[in-house]
Chain A
């Protein structure tokens, strides 16, 4: 059978942003055929967003710069046709749903672009009904977009794009700010649109496990160049290639890569969980399972509680009960991760630690003192806070000014400001960038600037709210490596995250929140295997945990493994070695 005709053709495309010396895209030649679901992968700065923006002409028509080669979408040259016309063929959905929603109701949001194109009223009504059903938002027509969850907002953005009846739907990291349920919703809708309506989908994403499941083809970009194109089954088993380009393979693929490397050939590496489970069956039939010895759970830190909540309840002014009797103690020197679905109450809880919110009932204690006895300034010296979006905390014209800002305004002597600023810049590797404007830095570096500003105050407790959101694997690890170093220095670290697979190397204790209550407070290894509790707050454990649970049918008892390295170690004589098969230090 003839392959479907290309919808998009890149012919030797290169592009340089204005004043840039290095191309953001270099010699890209590529076809995207009608009906494909294409995953676009690459580290931060690889050129994924630029490539997406070329498809409706925003690059270069909006940005300017130098453009080489030719791109056609549905036969239209993107340099010769206005973006308004290209937008009828290419629907775009970006990372942050908040920045895309402008109307006062769900149906108005869908209607907005159609009204601008003078589509007849009855046709607009018909399309609203149709697209809201397609993204499973029917019944929400009159809701204000701000009342929707993160996943619903992103689905609304997709609906608004879909209403234009695009031949190509481009989604640029649409799930990076969503919890696992939101992520699943967006992928499922994109998949449905692709399979049932024939919409061609191009999705840039770091969600390797999901892309392995849904994409028909992957495009790997690195430094603006096309490195590899192929199906997930062809790309994701190339672990070394992915690692060379700072990408994370699905955990199931990495697990079997390690098993293969240890001398147990398993054939083609599975990239999806169900394939991995089947491969485990074959493997266990061939060789003996030797579970690695798991060290006992680490003991909790000694000493009095540094951060405490006592029967904490909080109700927002609109009547929403966000916290419903939370009690906990965090001791000095602990590294705690707080997990839970969007809306579980995580951010509301940590805002109480900073006295950005005051309890409706109950109390919060820092060092044994009620937070109501502190001023916000006093608390800022003891509790540092790094928010999800670093740009919300950056407002100075240089990195140095940003890091020293709070010190200057809290009245520290000039010599101490200089010393603390330098020390903080050095600790975060920002000395060379101290005179640069923070907006000239990458997102990862901007996050480090905020962290440096917090560190300059030398707080006892450091809270990071979704620090890995929007970061690629390398960026996320580099931020978490800093938290590990701070923890080693004796700081108390509290991290809120949805990225469960990242935390075994770092955290020791997990607080699972759901519907404003504390569902579980347990050591990390124990918590990750409480699948019912995780499920109650719509969290999915990492694939390695699911592989471990599956392996238990071949084992005498519970395995409680956390990482691909630990699962692979079950098939490696001699157990776990330090190095490539290392058990994470924090949980060992």
Chain B
């Protein structure tokens, strides 16, 4: 029997709706379903406004690293949209804001991709407008607190530690370092990358949601001080969730023959 391949090689392309931005639609559906399912599980209460945070916040970044910015944003947005309807106890005071938070988190995570795959669009500049956007959000948030509501600068900085630390990690070369860690074959480096990366992206997502809520609800200055120890604890928990789930999922995806989305970071 001949071992030589006889037929002419054909160019393989995804035709029609099989993939979105190089990510198989089936992956989008599966990960959107995971986000929706994790919306049922609360992990912390929302002080003053009531309700609770959903566990799905821990995997928004992971979805972006797996699917890329566009498909990741869509998957998280759809998953969270379903989540706010089927699990209203974690929808928060402004459900649409939480959908936005999910989508922007996954989009920002996906935009970390260096997209080295052949045929992938060059996106290594996407972090720049995103960084400007997040800085503007932080200025709007802290600016209103300090200049309008009289929150002290020190309290505002301590309260937003999660947010500005996330912006710094995203703006500085640490973003690329985290991307490399997530791409590492070393399981410890992968876990470290997932932890730092989830901290960073969850902090950015938190900022994007909180700034909207603050302009709607305008909570009193006393709440700012109360939240100083709580917000980092919550972000720590998100990071642990992202690390535990992400390590298993990425190790499994690497081990199987399943197709790798074009902008995947792993």
Contact present for A439 and B15 (CB under 8 Å): no
Q: List, in ascending order, chain A residues with CB within 8 A of B255's CB.
A: 436-440
List residues of B (4-56) whose CB comes within 8 Å of A's CBs.
5-10, 12-19, 24, 26
Q: Which of A19, A68, A70, A79 contacts B5 (CB 8 A)?
A: A68
Q: Which chain A residue shows the least CB distance to B2?
A: A27
Known: A27-B2, A70-B7. A397 touches B12 (CB 8 A): no
Known: A67-B12, A81-B15, A83-B16. A62 touches B259 (CB 8 A): yes
List residues of A (64-78) whose CB comes within 8 Å of B's CBs.
64-70
Stretch from B77-85, B92-100, B245-253 forming part of the interface with A: B245-253
For the complex, give the distance between the alpha carbons of A62 and B258 in Å.
Answer: 9
Sort chain A's interface into a size bin.
35 or more
For the complex, give the distance between the alpha carbons of A17 and B12 in Å.
Answer: 11
For the complex, give the distance between the alpha carbons of A18 and B18 in Å.
Answer: 17
Q: List, in ascending order, chain B residues with CB within 8 A of A79's CB.
A: 10, 12-13, 15
Q: List, in ascending order, chain A residues with CB within 8 A of B12's CB.
A: 60-61, 64-67, 79
For the complex, give the distance between the alpha carbons of A438 and B255 in Å.
Answer: 8
Known: A70-B7, A79-B12, A84-B17. A62 touches B24 (CB 8 A): yes
Residue-wise interface mask of A (47-63) relative to B, using a CB-CB cutoff of 8 A (1 in contact, 0 not): 00000000001101111
Residue-wise interface mask of A (1-39) relative to B, using a CB-CB cutoff of 8 A (1 in contact, 0 not): 000000000011110011110010011000000000000
Question: For the complex, is B154 an interface residue (Cβ under 8 Å from A)?
Answer: no
Q: List, in ascending order, chain A residues with CB within 8 A of B14's CB.
A: 61-62
Contact present for B248 and A62 (CB under 8 Å): no
Q: List, in ascending order, chain B residues with CB within 8 A of A440's CB.
A: 255-256
Contact present for B26 and A62 (CB under 8 Å): yes
Q: List, in ascending order, chain B residues with CB within 8 A of A432's CB.
A: none
Give the one of A17, A62, A83, A225 with max B CB within 10 A: A62
List residues of A (436-466) whose CB comes within 8 Å of B's CBs.
436-440
Q: List, in ascending order, chain B residues with CB within 8 A of A300's CB.
A: none
For the complex, give the distance between the alpha carbons of A13 and B12 in Å.
Answer: 13
Nearest-neighbour CB distance to chain B for A389, whole angstroms, equals: 15
Contact present for A66 and B9 (CB under 8 Å): yes
Q: Which of A68, A70, A395 contacts B248 (CB 8 A)?
A: A395
Nearest-neighbour CB distance to chain B for A247, whole angstroms, equals: 17
Q: Which chain A residue shows the least CB distance to B12?
A: A60
Q: List, in ascending order, chain A residues with CB within 8 A of B24's CB.
A: 62
Nearest-neighbour CB distance to chain A for B97, whole angstroms, equals: 30
For the complex, give the distance between the alpha carbons of A485 and B130 in Å.
Answer: 62
For the complex, give the distance between the alpha carbons of A85 and B254 in Å.
Answer: 31
Contact present for B6 and A69 (CB under 8 Å): yes
Contact present for A18 and B5 (CB under 8 Å): no
Q: Which 10 A-B pairs have the closest CB atoms?
A: A82-B16, A69-B7, A437-B255, A12-B7, A68-B7, A440-B255, A439-B255, A397-B251, A82-B15, A12-B6
A interface with B by C-beta (< 8 Å): 11-14, 17-20, 23, 26-27, 57-58, 60-70, 79-85, 225, 395, 397, 436-440
